[in-house]
Chains A and B, each alone.
Chain A
Amino acid sequence: MKPTRSLPRRTFLGSLISVGTFGALAPHEFLHFFVASERPAERRDDRDAVLYLLRTVFSRIESARTVGAEYLRQIGRGSTVIESVHAEIIDRLSDSRPDGEVAGYLKLRVREDYVENRIVQLDGWLLSETEAACCALLHLIEDRET
């Protein structure tokens, strides 16, 4: 079932700002904190919403998780791209945009990555930073879910 998304945008940005300093220092930790935190309850809603969206984008979850794990393994600690993608998704979802529109935005961003040479190499594969980050995000959230 699709999760409720009642979180107003302001609250959401507030949540981001509240952990922003920590996130800037240790983005990977920041992500784990952000997606796994017990409270506030809205964050859980948001995590579900992001997960729901990413599951809409990726029909073959295991593949996305595998690519995401490889990306996280390679970058280790710290990817401002994952943060940025996460924030963009939340920002758009909190504006009550339809999932399809947000997914469309991600796909457009992937295209722009290739055009603008924002590429990562995973085991030789040339991937857009955004698609790798989406995979990593899915991996992180699902790991926390389980």
Chain B
Amino acid sequence: MIVDGRELPADSEHSFELCIVGAGAAGIAMACELAGTSVRVGVLESGGFQLDAETQSLAEGSNTGFPYYDLDTSRLRMFGGTTNVWGGICRPFDSRDFRERSWVARSGWPVDRPELEPYYRRAHEICGLGPWTYAPSRWSSPSAEPFEFTTDRLESIVFQRQPTRFGETYRDILDKAENIRVMLHSNLVELIGDPPDRGLEGVRAVTMGGKQFTVRAQAYVLACGALENARILLASGRRRRTAIGNENDLVGRFFMEHLNALGGVFVPTDRVAASFYSEREVNGTRVFGALRPDIDSQRRDRALNSCAYLVPASLEEGVKGVAPGLVSSVVAAQSNNLLDDLGDHVRNVASDIDDLAAYSYRRFFDPPSERGAFYLSFHLEHAPNPSSRVKLTGETDALGIPRIELHWKFGEIERRTLRSSLRTIGRELGASGLGRVKAVSDRPDTGWPPGLRGAWHQMGTTRMADSPGRGVVNANCRVHSVPNLFVAGSSVFPTCGYANSTLTLVALSLRLADHLSEFVRK
């Protein structure tokens, strides 16, 4: 059932076995997983079915680090959360993302990829994606084949894309589920329980009109996104000596974003077809390919994980291409004249050299050769960095909750990753006779290529770790210091790979739903 919190009696109490705060991708996935079970679930959602400015203004905050989006526009407080506007690009994290890498400080998840496998499969269905396979061969065709590389240094990978609107898609299921009660327009303002290590006793919610009510449950899940999860925990410190979960000063730290940078230009030699890397439909599933350096290259260069999309360099095609959000970056790149005169000459030289090569590479005589160029749009992992963080400010929102300040910070390892990745791609495309690559010059003021930006993937502020000294939540996503408080969503990611976060956060949420259905029975 879905109800309007504004219509609940003032100062009323509502009891459930499980209380989920937030009805975005994580919260809705959990609620759907538990729909029709014996677990009684209450879901608090700040917004309604439509975006309203007053509620959205609660998300306002300030940026003090590397330039970032206005915080009140980078996520949505409404039923369905940011899936109301997302692009739907999905891919599971690589196995390497879960492992400890000696060259990446604080890397390694307490959960490994095989353990997540069944949840990834289920998450795939919930996200409305196609078959659970990312093998390039499964998504190739005679007119769209992955490049053949000379070495194993570079790999073709596949993304699927289906922008499922969780709110629209799962509204009916949740409305009809007898064991689920979604309360819209209900903003969490307080975690009740002191001391917290004996468990939360309830949460207090308030509507924008000031009506308050209390929800009590055996277990509570914060599923409000990486910024808001940290904010709620940090704000709990107003009435306590230490904010809940923040005994080791970790809440809000390790904020991560995928770095999106047009780091280079790829000019294919004659007769090289790159259709595999453009968005296309295969048996009803939207897919596109990308390039990823292998783990040995990353280890050698002490680089993070990364991939590069091939975005057609003509603005019109770029807009229609795999990443519509790249328009501003493409414009910035074009104004920097990346495809300069030398580029055409390089292409001609490369075509002459590669055309008669004594080694084999893909040649396509029909359809006619593609003489376009592609921007290499890099998606870089962001290293866990304690200085990249969310903090509370002295300002409060309309409900009296402190606003946040985001200090987004990254540095040398990310820069090294971009250079390493670009060079690996350039070397392999050259070695395979496929074309040549140009590195884009960094802007003197930022030290990064023009157009560097976040991908609207906010992660890591309540990171998962086996010990409380290294993370806020444990492997079951439970806040270390609180026996019945859990966190769902990408805020628990210890590291973030390069792949878009939604599929993995949904998989983790489904795993948490499994865990909690056992937990509340006990």
Do the beta carbons of A104 and B358 come within 8 Å of each other?
A: yes
Give complex CA distance A59, B269 in Å: 13
A41 interface contact, C-beta 8 A: no
Q: A108 to B359, Cβ gap below 8 A?
A: yes
Contact A131 B348 (CB under 8 A): no
Whether B439 contacts A122 by the Cβ 8 Å rule is no
Q: A111-B357, A111-B431, A115-B427 are in contact. Are A125 and B352 (CB under 8 A)?
A: no
Q: Return chain B residues, CB-CB under 8 Å to A113.
A: 430
Chain A residues with CB under 8 A of B428: 114
Interface bits B273-304 vs A (CB < 8 Å: 1, else 0): 00000000000000000000000000000000
Q: Which of A70, A104, A123 has the most CB of B within 10 A?
A: A123
* CB of B47 closer than 8 Å to a CB of A: no
The yes or no answer to A21 lying at the interface (CB within 8 A) is no
* A119–B433 CB distance below 8 A: no
B101 lies within 8 A of chain A by Cβ: no
A63–B436 alpha-carbon span in the complex (Å)? 14
Q: What B residues does A70 contact at CB under 8 A?
A: 342
Given A111-B431, A115-B150, A131-B349, A123-B356 contact (CB < 8 Å): no
Would you call B438 and A126 a contact (CB within 8 A)?
yes
- Residues on A with C-beta less than 8 A from B426 are 114, 119, 126
A128 CB contacts on chain B under 8 angstroms: 430
Given contacts A57-B353, A107-B357, A126-B437, contact A119 B423 (CB under 8 A): yes
User: Contact: A60 with B437, CB < 8 Å?
Assistant: no
For residue A72, CB closer than 8 A to chain B, the reply is: no
Within 8 A of B (CB), among A80-115: 103-104, 106-108, 110-111, 113-115
**Could you say which residues of chain A place their CB within 8 Å of the CB of B422?**
126
Say whether, besides A70-B342, A115-B150, A122-B342, A64 and B436 are in contact (CB < 8 Å): no
Determine whether the beta carbon of B346 is less than 8 Å from that of A57. Answer: no
Q: A123-B342, A128-B430 given as contacts; is B349 within 8 A of A58 (CB)?
A: yes
- Determine if B423 and A111 form an interchain contact, defined as CB atoms under 8 angstroms apart: no
**Identity of the chain A residue whose Cβ is nearest the Cβ of B342 in the assembled complex:** A123
Interface range, A side: 20 to 34
Those of A59-73 within 8 Å (CB) of chain B: 59-60, 62-64, 66-67, 70
Known: A67-B342, A70-B342. A135 touches B349 (CB 8 A): yes
Determine if B136 is an interface residue (Cβ-Cβ < 8 Å): no
Is the CB–CB distance between B356 and A104 below 8 Å?
yes
Do residues A126 and B430 form an inter-chain contact, with CB atoms below 8 A? yes
- Does A35 belong to the interface (CB within 8 Å)? no
B441 contacts which chain A residues (CB < 8 A)? Answer: 124
Q: What does DSSP make chain A's interface, helix, strand, loop or mixed?
A: helix
CB-CB under 8 A from B436, the residues of chain A are: 125-127
Expressed in whole angstroms, the Cα–Cα distance for A111 and B356 within the complex equals 12
A57 touches B150 (CB 8 A): no
Say yes or no: is A37 at the interface (Cβ < 8 Å to chain B).
Answer: no
Known A119-B427, A127-B346; contact A107-B437, beta-carbon cutoff 8 A: no
A67–B344 CA distance with the chains assembled, in angstroms: 10
A121, CB-defined interface residue at 8 Å: yes
The winner among B345, B350, B439, B440 for most chain A CB atoms within 10 A is B345
CB neighbours of A119 from chain B (8 A) = 423, 426-427, 430
Among B328-371, those with CB < 8 Å from A are 340-350, 352-354, 356-359
Q: Is A15 an interface residue (CB 8 A)?
A: no
Q: Is the CB of B352 within 8 A of A57?
A: yes
Q: Which of B352, B359, B439 contacts A124 (CB 8 A)?
A: B439
| Contact partners of A123 in chain B: CB under 8 A | 340, 342, 438
- Residue pair B431, A114 in contact (C-beta under 8 Å): yes
Asked whether A6 is an interface residue with its Cβ less than 8 Å from the other chain, the reply is no
State the CA gap A67–B342 with chains docked (Å). 7
A104 CB to nearest B CB, Å: 4
Query: What is the distance, in angstroms, from A57's C-beta to the closest C-beta of chain B?
Result: 6
Q: Taking the complex as formed, is A117 at the interface, i.e. its CB lies under 8 A from any CB of chain B?
A: yes
Query: A16 CB to closest chain B CB, in angstroms?
Result: 25
B151 at the interface (CB under 8 A from A): yes
Distance from B352 Cβ to chain A, minimum over Cβ atoms (Å): 5
Residue in B150, B341, B439 whose beta carbon sits within 8 Å of that of A126 in the complex: B439
Contacts of A103 in B (CB 8 A): 356
A57-B352, A107-B357 given; A125·B346 CB < 8 A: yes
B427 x A63 contact (CB < 8 A):
no
Whole-angstrom CA separation of A108 from B358 in the bound complex:
6
Residues from chain B with a CB closer than 8 A to the CB of A110 are: 353, 357, 430
A43 to B344, CA, bound (A): 34
Task: Return chain A residues, CB-CB under 8 Å to B359.
Answer: 107-108, 111
Interface string of A7-44 (1 = CB under 8 A from B): 00000000000000000000000000000000000000
Residues of B within 8 A of A66 (CB): 341-342, 345
Q: Which of B73-104 contact A (CB under 8 A)?
A: none
Are B437 and A125 in contact, with the CB atoms below 8 A?
Answer: yes
- Taking the closest CB of chain B, its distance from the CB of A63, in whole angstroms, is 4
CA distance A63 to B349 in the complex (A): 6
Which residue of the partner chain, among B345, B423, B438, contacts A67 with CB atoms under 8 Å? B345
Closest residue on chain B to residue A123 by CB atoms: B342
Closest to B431 in A: A114
A72 CA to B342 CA, complexed, in Å: 14
Q: What is the minimal beta-carbon distance from A121 to any residue of chain B, in angstroms?
A: 7
Which of B151, B353, B438 is the one whose CB lies under 8 Å from A125?
B438
Task: List 12 additional A-B contacts (Cβ < 8 Å) besides A117-B427, A126-B427.
Answer: A58-B349, A66-B345, A107-B359, A108-B358, A111-B357, A119-B423, A119-B426, A119-B427, A124-B441, A126-B436, A126-B439, A127-B436
Selected A-B contacts with CB under 8 Å, 9 pairs:
A64-B348, A66-B341, A103-B356, A111-B150, A119-B427, A125-B438, A131-B349, A131-B353, A135-B349
| 4 residue pairs, one from A and one from B, having the closest CB atoms | A114-B431, A63-B348, A126-B426, A63-B345
